[in-house]
Structure formats: C-alpha cells, structure tokens
Amino acid sequence: MVFGKIEYLNLLPFHVFMKRFTSNTQQSMSMNYKKGVPSDINKKFATHRVDAAFISSITAQKYRHVDLGIIAKKEVRSVLVIPHAQSIIDKDSATSNVLARILDLKGEVIIGDKALRYYLQNRPHVDLGAEWNRRYNLPFVFALLCYHRDKKIYEKIERNFLKQKIRIPQYMLKQASIRTNIATKDILEYLKYISYDLDTKAKLGLKKFYNKVNF
C-alpha cells in the first residue's frame, strides 16, 4: 500500500496516528509513503502512483473518500491571500487558488507552513478559512482522505483516528519545529484551528464549495 504523505503541519497529528496504526496492524510491512505538496500528491493519486492520500477538495469530488478531511471551522492561519495588485496562485495548491477566485480576493495565495510563518509575523493578509466562514457561516474543507481500494482499511483509520486524542511526542514536535522554523508553542496553537471530522456542517460547507465551483 502506498500512501501520499503531505508533510505540512496540519497533518502532523495524523502522521503520529499512522505511525502507531501501521506498527500495530498487518499494514506495518506493506505501508510505503510518497511525499509531496498537495498539487503533486493530487497528480500521483490520479495516476495511481499512490493508493490513498489527503486530496485537495477541488480534485477529491470525483474520488471515493472517508469522512476525514483537513477542515477549518473558522480561521485556518495557513491558507492566506497577501494583498497584491495582481492575483498570483500558489503552485503547491489546488483548492486554495480556486477558493480565492470564488471569494473574489485579489492578491498572492500562499498555503502550508510558509503561510503560517507569514501569519506569525503579523503581516497584512486575508485568512481564506475565516473569510469563507464570515460569508457563509460554514466550515471550509480543504482536503479529503481519498482511496482507490481497500475501503475497509480507510474506514478503520477514520474510526480510530477520530476517537483518539492525539498527543504529539516531544521529539516529533521538535523535529517539526526545526523543519519548518516554527516554534513548538506556535505549532500546538495552530493545530487548535484544524479539524479532521467531516461532520454534517463540514459536509454542508463542502457542498456549498462544489456548488460554486460547478456553477
């Protein structure tokens, strides 16, 4: 089994969970990872070079998925538009570029850990998660856990991940801090704004997004 791994901080709790999950199940001998940014993982999934991954919502609508996602209830802090005279996309992104267009926000889209570093500098920006919520009073779903096969495995991952309170080991937190140049306290604070449960309200937010994309 090949899993597409996006090493952004928003998936750090999931990676902690998967490390334990694969070591405690029969998947331990067969789970391999391919790393990349969201746009790259989308392509690998589409060409079946990975069997499952968190796929950008704009791409995920045509694939099977479980009720796990990367979701902002309100603000997200890591998906921003920097005020700019011209609209500039983030080549690492798929969904966020479309979201900025839907919200008619002009500027430079930045996502992921570089966006969080920018946010922490208190520089001018628009938080796309917060702006979506302000307009529609709904969460925004940035990605969904999609799969090509082995549905039962991913349903098991969904059930087990959502019922656990994930504690990130200090050594992994420190590694993430060094890799991203973001303080551990800021990482932990940031993760409070990320949800993974594709609940009823998140599904309504996702439906609203798809309706606007396909209008």
Find the CATH number of the domain harbouring 139.
Answer: 3.40.190.10
| Residue 211 forms part of a structural domain | no
Q: Token digits for 27?
A: 């998947």
pLDDT at 29: 44
pLDDT at 215: 65
Residues facing 54 on adjacent strands: 145
| Residue 106 forms part of a structural domain | yes
E strand or H helix at 14, and its extent?
helix 12-23
| Residue 210 forms part of a structural domain | no
DSSP string, 109-152: EEEHHHHHHHHHTT-S-EEHHHHHHHHHSS-EEEEEEEESS-HH
DSSP string, 15-43: HHHHHHHHHSSGGGGT-EEEE--HHHHHH
Q: What are phi and psi of 35, to 5 degrees?
A: -95, 155
| Residue 113 forms part of a structural domain | yes
Mean pLDDT, all residues of the chain = 93
| Residue 215 forms part of a structural domain | no
- Residues 61-102 pLDDT 10s: 999 999 999 999 999 999 999 998 688 889 999 899 999 999
Total of domains in the chain: 1
Q: Token digits for 88?
A: 């500039």
In whole angstroms, give the CA distance from residue 41 to residue 77: 22
Q: What are phi and psi of 201, to 5 degrees?
A: -70, -40
| Residue 209 forms part of a structural domain | no
| Residue 34 forms part of a structural domain | yes
Whether the per-residue pLDDT at 30 is higher than 80: the answer is no
- Residues 159-208 pLDDT 10s: 999 999 999 999 999 999 999 999 999 999 999 999 999 999 999 999 99
Instruction: Give the range of the structural domain holding residue 136, as residue numbers without chain letter.
Output: 2-197
pTM: 0.93
Whether the per-residue pLDDT at 1 is higher than 60: the answer is yes
| Residue 126 forms part of a structural domain | yes
In whole angstroms, give the CA distance from residue 120 to residue 153: 37
